[in-house]
Structure 1
Amino acid sequence: MFQFFVEPEQIQAENVIITGSDVNHIKNVLRMKAGEQVRISDNCGGDYLCEINEVASEQVELHILEKCDNTELPVKITLFQGLPKSDKMELIIQKAVELGVSEIVPVAMKNCVVKLDEKKAKAKQNRWQAIAESAAKQSKRSIIPQIGEVISFSQAVASAKNMEVRLVPYENERGMAHTREILGKIEKGSEVAIFIGPEGGFSSSEIELVKDDMELISLGNRILRTETAGLAALAMIILAIED
């Protein structure tokens, strides 16, 4: 079943009106007809099973059949991802969205090879946001996770300061007992920050900056690539927190 996101004001008592680029996608790409069912989300946690009433040139009218269960995790997770090389960020975003992340913030760290100027960073952000929206539709998310602007490591640390849980998977940490203990203490409704280093890992100065205020944890005895580490951490949190 296909999913589409709309603004809350497009949802009425019994009907939903889709406008914009999704109309062309429904009409000319998917070639959907009256009577077919779709899932609609308002990006605020409201999800609905709907049936298409009419496909017109500039809008699609749907009838609400029933309200659907929300698919979001019971915690809000922000992934602070060290900028990786090539197109790895696209994979990270796609899979992290599928796993339930709420926000992804690209972070320029000391060992990042990639250096983006302001113009390139903005273009990348727009591309990454489109990937997040596509992944949210595919995985039937209730919201579209936001992709933040590229920020420095110190800015990322400051941004996470008030989050209840701040995790730093670190290759020099060993033993899963501490990881299980920390994840077992996460309460529903919490805001969780996960910091992931780039290909070169965290610098010693970055670890020094966070070691007293964040939880350094292990993801196992094997060294994970940057595009794997965040996803592994997300999967562990899902196991620990989701019913």
Structure 2
Amino acid sequence: MHKFFVPRSNILGDTAIIEGDDVKHIYKVLRLEVGDNVSINNCDGEEFLGQIEDVNKKQVTVKCVEKLALNNESPVEIYLFQGLPKSSKMDLIVQKATELGVKEVTPIITDRVVVKNELGEFKKLDRWNRIVLEACKQSKRSIIPKVNTPLEFEGLLELLKNMDLIVVPYENAEGHGIKNMVNSINKSHIKKIAVIIGPEGGFEEEEINRLKELEAYIVTLGPRIFRTETAGFVCVSLIMYELGDLGGIS
């Protein structure tokens, strides 16, 4: 069943109005018709079984038949702080982070970020958030993750004070990995997790030291060095497997 995210303002009583790009996709690509069932999400995590009542080129009217007891979100909230990469790598990062269940993605500006002029290109946020929305539909997410504006390293340090767990993959870390970290923490007290990924050039030693001051876990992901766009996927996947719902809940 196809899923659509509809803002609360477009849901009046038991009627949802789908507008924008989804309309053309519904009648021209999916070829859905009156009477077909769809899933409606109100952008706040609530899901409804809907039945199409009217289709035209401007909007699609859907009757919300019943509320669904559905929640595809992880029991832990992972906030990915990604060292801003070159080119279009961030497109892939936000897409896959959404599929994996990340709650928010924030690009960060560290000393070795090469493309510092990206700070002024805020219109990229619109593209990244569109990519997130499409990934939400594909992966059946219950909420839409947010991609935040790029953040300087000092601002990152302030945000981290509100996290229950801070994980920093680092190529110079030795011995202490995700397995050791998971065995050393009290899992019942972990809700908000920050995963911090360095840019192509990695972290400066001073940056790692400042993260250590916040009791961040500086971990290795194994003997092989990952690209920046790969490291986040690997780290988030391991944490979701150990502390979240990846692989199913036993």
**Could you state the TM-score of these two structures normalised by the residue count of structure 2?**
0.88
User: Which amino acid in 1 is paired with 2:218?
Assistant: L
Q: How far apart in 1 are the matches of 2:242 and 2:135? A: 23
Moved more, 35-44 or 89-98: 35-44
- Report the counterpart of residue 91 of structure 1 in structure 2: 92
Summarize the Cα distance change of 1:144–1:114 in structure 2 as closer, same or farther, 3 Å threshold. Answer: same
Summarize the Cα distance change of 1:220–1:193 in structure 2 as closer, same or farther, 3 Å threshold. Answer: same
SS at match of 2:202: coil
Q: Is the contact made by 1:178 and 1:217 (CA closer than 8 Å) also made in structure 2?
A: no
Q: Is the contact made by 1:165 and 1:191 (CA closer than 8 Å) also made in structure 2?
A: yes
Q: Is the contact made by 1:75 and 1:188 (CA closer than 8 Å) also made in structure 2?
A: no
- Report the counterpart of residue 199 of structure 2 in structure 1: 198
Number of aligned residue pairs: 241
Off by >4 Å, runs of 4+ in structure 1: none
1:151 Cα deviation (Å)?
A: 1.3
- Report the counterpart of residue 64 of structure 1 in structure 2: 64
Counterparts of 1:161-240 in structure 2 under 5 Å? 161-175=161-175, 176=177, 177-181=179-183, 185-187=186-188, 190-213=191-214, 214-240=216-242
1:68 Cα deviation (Å)?
A: 4.3
SS at match of 2:208: helix
Q: How far apart in 2 are the matches of 1:118 and 1:11? A: 36
1:110 Cα deviation (Å)?
A: 0.8
- Report the counterpart of residue 6 of structure 1 in structure 2: 6
Q: Is the contact made by 1:79 and 1:101 (CA closer than 8 Å) also made in structure 2?
A: yes
* Structure 1 position 113 matched with structure 2 position 105: no
| Superposition CA RMSD, Å | 2.0
| 1:154-199 per-position Cα deviation (integer Å, ceiling 9, x unaligned) | 11121221111111111222333423325x6344771111100011
1:88 Cα deviation (Å)?
A: 1.0
User: Which amino acid in 2 is paired with 1:221?
Assistant: P
Q: How far apart in 1 are the matches of 2:120 and 2:152? A: 16
- Report the counterpart of residue 43 of structure 1 in structure 2: 43
- Report the counterpart of residue 55 of structure 2 in structure 1: 55
- Report the counterpart of residue 77 of structure 1 in structure 2: 78
Moved more, 66-75 or 190-199: 66-75
Counterparts of 1:130-145 in structure 2 under 5 Å? 130-145=130-145
Q: Is the contact made by 2:108 and 2:156 (CA closer than 8 Å) also made in structure 1?
A: yes
Identity %: 41
In the alignment, structure 2 segments of 5+ residues that lack a partner are none
